[in-house]
């Protein structure tokens, strides 16, 4: 049967018999559009189907194959697009590298080990030997022990994560955990660019943990919170900022929103001489507090007063945040399950769990380099609040243990 293209007038032949599934062959030099057009009787120039619509199965003669089951074809261009999308990607192996363990001797000298040979090098070694992944030794660990450890950890993590964690590509713990986080992130991967003023507020609000010391001798019981920081990060009901917030001037704290506040918090009468911290609350000398700090202070009966200056608040609306489950859930679930299984992979997973927040909020020379710096003060504050509420149950029976 002859059919004519309504645009260019070109005549093509329609096959008399068509099977329910039609195989289309393609050689490498020929474009997939041209091959598909010739096989099913289309005018390639105008990319318009001249045959009745049919369900077809498409394959190639290359090493990789893909197929469309029950796909209703509309244009040859669509066929080409679907063909390209459905061809599976080859497994990437060319980015893998060998490990090179190292130990710092002084500011300019290092010892290195590649699994066979050890030698002495300098800072230039890190720039020259780009074919290696550099792995630092742990405390009281030899170069040989570190090499054996990272090799076993890599093999076990590959197996237990079904290939999602490959330290032969990423190398050290921080880069490995960041790569897994990016794979599992339910949001666009981007580095958050923040303004100078917001950056200053984040730095000034980033206060450390609760510190308390009291001399004690006698029996004691240790309380350990499993993976405190990553567990707080993953909480379903917690919001984390991923976009910039808004500066504001507030006259009261009646409706406490998720953000940073300039407030004064009174000191407990018995601790007025200690301007940095008390047993259940950590004070910020610069008076930049998170909403979690204010909630905890009020819970302890401390008076909170807004500082009368503009701006005195930096608020992150829900549209600029993600829940802990959406942001960290998949990443956390993979690693915590491997950690609980124990073994070499379990120990490595613990390292991956505790190192992510530092990578996300990395700060050097008063500049943020991590992709999510806004998380830092909120996480530190939430952890302080969590520990404070736990310690409060024990009253004055709690002492600091290092």
Q: Who has greater pLDDT, 65 or 368?
A: 368
Q: What is the DSSP string of 201-229?
A: HHHHH------------S-------TTHH
Scan for tokens 């001037």, then name that residue.
249
Residue 15 DSSP symbol: P
Percent above pLDDT 70 for the chain: 71
Q: What is the C-alpha to C-alpha distance for residues 360 and 178, in angstroms, rounded to an integer?
A: 8
Provide the 3-class DSSP secondary structure of residue 30.
Answer: coil
Confidence (pLDDT) at 384: 95
- With both helix axes pointing from N to C terminus, report the angle between 343-360 and 375-392 in degrees, rounded to the nearest 10: 120
E strand or H helix at 332, and its extent? helix 324-341
Instruction: Name which of 85, 95, 104 is nearest 32 in CA terms.
Output: 85
Q: What is the C-alpha to C-alpha distance for residues 329 and 337, in angstroms, rounded to an integer?
A: 12
**346 pLDDT higher than 90:** yes
**179 pLDDT higher than 90:** yes
Confidence (pLDDT) at 143: 97
Quote the Cα angle for 309-367-326, to 5°.
85
- Residue 62 pLDDT class (50, 70, 90 cuts): very low
**145 pLDDT higher than 90:** yes
Asked if 345 contacts 160 with a C-beta cutoff of 8 angstroms, the reply is yes
- Residue 38 pLDDT class (50, 70, 90 cuts): very low
Confidence (pLDDT) at 190: 59
Residue 17 DSSP symbol: -
Name the token pair of 325: 């489950």
Instruction: Give alpha helix (H) positions in 162-276.
Output: 167-170, 173-184, 196-205, 228-234
Asked if 53 contacts 38 with a C-beta cutoff of 8 angstroms, the reply is no
- Other beta carbons within 10 angstroms of residue 381's beta carbon come to 24
Confidence (pLDDT) at 154: 97
Confidence (pLDDT) at 70: 37
Scan for tokens 């030099």, then name that residue.
29
Contacts of 1 (CB under 8 A, 6+ apart): 13, 14, 16
Q: What is the C-alpha to C-alpha distance for residues 275 and 31, in angstroms, rounded to an integer?
A: 73
Q: What is the DSSP string of 123-163?
A: THHHHH-TTEEEEEPPTT--HHHHHHHHHHHHHHHHHHTTT
Name the token pair of 67: 């197929």
Query: 111 has which bridge partners?
Result: 103, 120
Q: What is the C-alpha to C-alpha distance for residues 49 and 37, in angstroms, rounded to an integer?
A: 8
Scan for tokens 């697009």, then name that residue.
81
> Peptide bond before 74: cis, by omega within 30 degrees of 0?
no
- Residue 369 pLDDT class (50, 70, 90 cuts): confident
Name the token pair of 257: 């929103």
Contacts of 289 (CB under 8 A, 6+ apart): 205, 260, 261, 262, 263, 265, 297, 381
Asked if 198 contacts 314 with a C-beta cutoff of 8 angstroms, the reply is yes
Residue 64 DSSP symbol: S
pTM: 0.71
Q: What is the C-alpha to C-alpha distance for residues 369 and 69, in angstroms, rounded to an integer?
A: 46
Task: Express each pLDDT in 280-290 by its tens digit.
Answer: 899 999 999 99
- Residue 218 pLDDT class (50, 70, 90 cuts): confident
């Amino acid at each position: 049967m002859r059919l004519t293209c309504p645009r260019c007038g070109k005549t093509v032949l329609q096959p008399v018999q068509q099977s329910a599934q039609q195989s289309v062959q393609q050689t490498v030099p020929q474009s997939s559009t041209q091959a598909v057009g010739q096989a099913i009787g289309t005018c390639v120039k105008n990319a318009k189907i001249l045959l009745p619509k049919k369900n077809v199965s498409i394959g190639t003669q290359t090493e990789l194959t893909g197929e469309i089951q029950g796909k209703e074809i509309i244009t040859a261009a669509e066929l080409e697009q679907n063909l390209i999308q459905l061809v599976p990607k080859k497994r990437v192996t060319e980015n893998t590298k060998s490990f090179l363990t190292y130990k710092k001797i002084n500011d300019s000298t290092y010892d290195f080990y590649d699994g066979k040979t050890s030698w002495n090098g300098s800072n230039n070694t890190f720039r020259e030997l780009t074919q290696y992944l550099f792995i630092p030794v742990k405390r009281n660990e030899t170069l040989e022990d570190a090499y054996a450890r990272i090799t076993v950890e890599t093999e076990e993590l590959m197996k237990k994560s079904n290939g999602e964690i490959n330290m032969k590509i990423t190398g050290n713990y921080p880069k490995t955990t960041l790569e897994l986080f990016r794979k599992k992130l339910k949001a666009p991967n981007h580095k958050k660019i923040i303004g100078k003023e917001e950056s200053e507020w984040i730095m000034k609000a980033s206060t450390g943990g609760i510190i308390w010391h009291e001399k004690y001798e006698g029996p004691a019981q240790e309380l350990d919170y499993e993976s405190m920081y990553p567990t707080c990060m993953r909480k379903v009901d917690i919001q984390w900022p991923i976009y910039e917030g808004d500066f504001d001037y507030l006259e009261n704290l009646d409706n406490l929103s998720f953000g940073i506040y300039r407030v004064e918090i009174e000191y407990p009468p018995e601790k007025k001489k200690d301007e940095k911290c008390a047993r259940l609350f950590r004070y910020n000398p610069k008076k930049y507090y998170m909403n979690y700090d204010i909630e905890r202070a009020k819970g302890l009966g401390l008076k909170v007063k807004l500082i009368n200056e503009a701006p005195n608040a930096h608020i992150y609306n829900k549209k600029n945040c993600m829940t802990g489950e959406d942001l960290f859930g998949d990443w956390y679930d993979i690693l915590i399950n491997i950690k609980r299984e124990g073994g070499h992979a379990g120990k490595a997973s613990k390292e991956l769990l505790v190192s992510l927040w530092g990578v996300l909020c990395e700060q050097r020379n008063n500049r943020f380099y991590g992709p999510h710096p806004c998380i830092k003060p909120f996480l530190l504050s939430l952890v302080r609040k969590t520990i404070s509420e736990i310690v409060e149950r024990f009253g004055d029976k709690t002492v600091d243990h290092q």
